Amino acid sequence: MGALIPVLSYFDSNPEPLNCESVVAENTATSRDGFYFVPLNKDDVPLGTQIILKEEPIEGLKKYLSNKNFQGIGPKNADTIAQNIGMKVIKYLHERNVNILEKKTSKKLSEALLGGWDLDYENSGFEILFSQIGFSYTQKKFVKDEFGNKFFAEIHKDPYMLLQRVPRLSFDKIEDIISNFGIEVTLEQKIVAATRYSLMQSEVERGNTCGPLERVLLRAQEITKNDFETIQRAISSHAHLFNNFKVKDKEFLETIEACERDNDIAQQIFLIKDSFRAIKGKKFSANRNATNPLSEEQVLAIQNSLEAGVSIITGGPGTGKTRIIEGLAQVLVNGFGKTIRICAPTGRAAKRIAENQALKKFQPSTIHMLKAMIDSAAKDYEFDALIVDESSMIDICLLYTSPSPRDS
């Protein structure tokens, strides 16, 4: 991937032509008013996309010049350089124009600027542009790894696609991108994106993969400032992006992705349940010589787990759920010679299980860690049963990527 290096300041008149396509809204392109960037490869050849911003990205420039590569600059000098020279400082650095850099700053600062530029010029465009629009480090890294220089072409096609593809990106941030990059979007695009965003937020904040239609429309109205009729009309014209259904005469809405994901999870659960062969044939002896014997309810819970492909054991704090896990693990391993894995959704929950003397030998881990071990295993990482503690903490996204045990 080539470097994204800003090569011109504001257009004073027609800029020198470049053999690359402009990515910019038509009205901006016509007026030739804006700030110009172009991705270059290592030989300074344009890669085919140029970007025009409406305003000079001064805040992004300050953050870029303040980073650790520019030793001796710091926030105060970066602010002064950004305010007095602006983005032309990048042009001078790219041209290695030492005379003008020393004239406009000082010999010491000029050397610091050039030293930092040599270390980090390939990231200059990304850092300046994404810092300007307030992307976090994680978001900038994700965009760079996922899209590279194609990012700017992609967002001009559909800026709202970032809501689904970039972690923790708010709708307001998308609106900032649209404004900064001079992107034109239709009202219908905005309404559909706002509706989908409200559904995604409900999933993140409340764990709901769908929402009552009225509540979803109200949230979309708050974001877009449009009436219900306009919003419903936009949703209806993009019906392929949503699943609308009723439960007891109450109407609900979900994204088509959530619908497909929920159906897939349900199918996987039924597959495990239907293909499971009940573990029968002998009575287990979890209570033999036990200093902490199981209650009748705990014994029944273990027996039912052995006979079902998928079991959910619920109960409040102190009701003995961990003791059931101990008994179930003992029966599966010692009584029936099965291999098991124990995991939990969070590090804290996994640590608590790992501190249990009877369970620590099974090396309890987080779901993420177990999945990573399975994915990186040189050969099949198989086990007969999977015990998940604190399963009520699992959200739908984590469940969708969780490991499944092989058939017993």
Q: What is the 3-state secondary structure (H, E, C) of 65-83?
A: HCCCCCCCCHHHHHHHHHH
In terms of domains, do 76 and 165 share one? yes
Per-residue model confidence (pLDDT) at position 407: 38
Residue 393's pLDDT band (boundaries 50, 70, 90)?
confident
Per-residue model confidence (pLDDT) at position 91: 80
Could you tell me if residue 406 is inside a domain?
no
In terms of domains, do 247 and 284 share one? no
Residue 135, both tokens: 């992307």
Percent of the chain with pLDDT over 90: 36
**Looking at the predicted structure, is the pLDDT value of residue 373 above 90?**
no
In terms of domains, do 168 and 191 share one? no
- Max Cα separation, the chain? 91
Q: Choose the most confident range, by mean pLDDT, from 149-163, 225-239, 275-289.
A: 225-239
In terms of domains, do 38 and 138 share one? yes
Pairing assessment for the beta strands 365-366 and 385-388 based on DSSP bridges: unpaired
Residue 176, both tokens: 């900032």
Pairing assessment for the beta strands 242-247 and 211-212 based on DSSP bridges: unpaired
In terms of domains, do 141 and 52 share one? yes
Per-residue model confidence (pLDDT) at position 136: 85
Could you tell me if residue 407 is inside a domain?
no
In terms of domains, do 8 and 47 share one? yes
Last residue of a domain, one of 180, 214, 236: 180
**Looking at the predicted structure, is the pLDDT value of residue 394 above 80?**
yes
Per-residue model confidence (pLDDT) at position 116: 92
Residue 131's pLDDT band (boundaries 50, 70, 90)?
confident
- Measured between alpha carbons, how far is 317 from 314 in angstroms, rounded to an integer? 10
Residue 344's pLDDT band (boundaries 50, 70, 90)?
very high
- Measured between alpha carbons, how far is 253 from 197 in angstroms, rounded to an integer? 12
Three-state SS for 191? Answer: helix
Per-residue model confidence (pLDDT) at position 105: 93
In terms of domains, do 97 and 149 share one? yes
Flag the least confident range among 30-34, 103-107, 204-208, 296-300: 30-34
Query: Average pLDDT over the chain, rounded to whole?
Result: 81
- Measured between alpha carbons, how far is 26 from 238 in angstroms, rounded to an integer? 25
Residue 287's pLDDT band (boundaries 50, 70, 90)?
low
Per-residue model confidence (pLDDT) at position 243: 94
- Cβ contacts of residue 196 below 8 Å, gap of 6+? 160, 163, 164, 241, 242, 255
**Looking at the predicted structure, is the pLDDT value of residue 6 above 90?**
no
Residue 336, both tokens: 């029936």
In terms of domains, do 175 and 193 share one? no
Could you tell me if residue 405 is inside a domain?
no
- The answer to whether the beta carbons of residues 52 and 24 sit under 8 Å apart is yes
Vertex 269, ends 265 and 273: CA angle to 5°? 170
For the segment 261-273, the average pLDDT, to the nearest whole number, is 87
Which CATH number belongs to the domain containing residue 236 in this structure?
Answer: 1.10.10.2220
For the segment 290-317, the average pLDDT, to the nearest whole number, is 85
Could you tell me if residue 132 is inside a domain?
yes
- The answer to whether the beta carbons of residues 129 and 63 sit under 8 Å apart is no
Q: Domain of residue 310: give its range.
A: 276-400
Per-residue model confidence (pLDDT) at position 405: 46
Per-residue model confidence (pLDDT) at position 25: 33
Higher pLDDT, 76 or 277: 76
Q: What pLDDT digit, counting tens, does each position of 170-199 carry? A: 899 899 888 877 788 999 999 999 999 999
**Looking at the predicted structure, is the pLDDT value of residue 204 above 80?**
no
pTM > 0.75: no
Last residue of a domain, one of 156, 180, 204: 180
* Cα 15 to Cα 24, 36, 58, distances in angstroms: 15, 9, 21
**Looking at the predicted structure, is the pLDDT value of residue 80 above 60?**
yes
Exposed/middle/buried for residue 261 (C-beta within 10 Å: 0-12, 13-18, 19+): middle
Could you tell me if residue 129 is inside a domain?
yes
Per-residue model confidence (pLDDT) at position 127: 83
Could you tell me if residue 110 is inside a domain?
yes
- Measured between alpha carbons, how far is 81 from 68 in angstroms, rounded to an integer? 16
Per-residue model confidence (pLDDT) at position 325: 93
Higher pLDDT, 399 or 117: 117
Q: Which residues of 297-306 are buried (b: 16+ CB within 10 A; e: fewer)?
A: ebbebbbebb
Nearest in space to 191 (alpha carbons), one of 228, 152, 244, 243: 228
Q: What DSSP character marks residue 46?
A: B
Nearest in space to 59 (alpha carbons), one of 140, 131, 141: 131
- The answer to whether the beta carbons of residues 327 and 294 sit under 8 Å apart is yes
**Looking at the predicted structure, is the pLDDT value of residue 62 above 90?**
yes
Could you tell me if residue 243 is inside a domain?
yes
* Cα 382 to Cα 76, 274, 342, distances in angstroms: 57, 19, 13
- The answer to whether the beta carbons of residues 196 and 178 sit under 8 Å apart is no
For the chain, the domain total comes to 3
Per-residue model confidence (pLDDT) at position 49: 55
Per-residue model confidence (pLDDT) at position 224: 92
In terms of domains, do 142 and 217 share one? no
Per-residue model confidence (pLDDT) at position 148: 74
Per-residue model confidence (pLDDT) at position 245: 93
**Looking at the predicted structure, is the pLDDT value of residue 364 above 70?**
yes
In terms of domains, do 139 and 172 share one? yes
Sheet holding 21-23, edge to edge: 3-5, 35-40, 49-53, 21-23
**Looking at the predicted structure, is the pLDDT value of residue 329 above 80?**
yes
Last residue of a domain, one of 159, 180, 201: 180
- The answer to whether the beta carbons of residues 3 and 124 sit under 8 Å apart is yes
Nearest in space to 156 (alpha carbons), one of 182, 187, 195: 182
Per-residue model confidence (pLDDT) at position 16: 44
For the segment 319-337, the average pLDDT, to the nearest whole number, is 90
Per-residue model confidence (pLDDT) at position 291: 64
Residue 152's pLDDT band (boundaries 50, 70, 90)?
confident
- Measured between alpha carbons, how far is 351 from 30 in angstroms, rounded to an integer? 61
Q: Choose the most confident range, by mean pLDDT, from 41-55, 107-121, 126-140, 200-214.
A: 107-121
In terms of domains, do 166 and 202 share one? no
In terms of domains, do 289 and 389 share one? yes
Per-residue model confidence (pLDDT) at position 33: 52
Could you tell me if residue 242 is inside a domain?
yes
- Measured between alpha carbons, how far is 406 from 408 in angstroms, rounded to an integer? 6
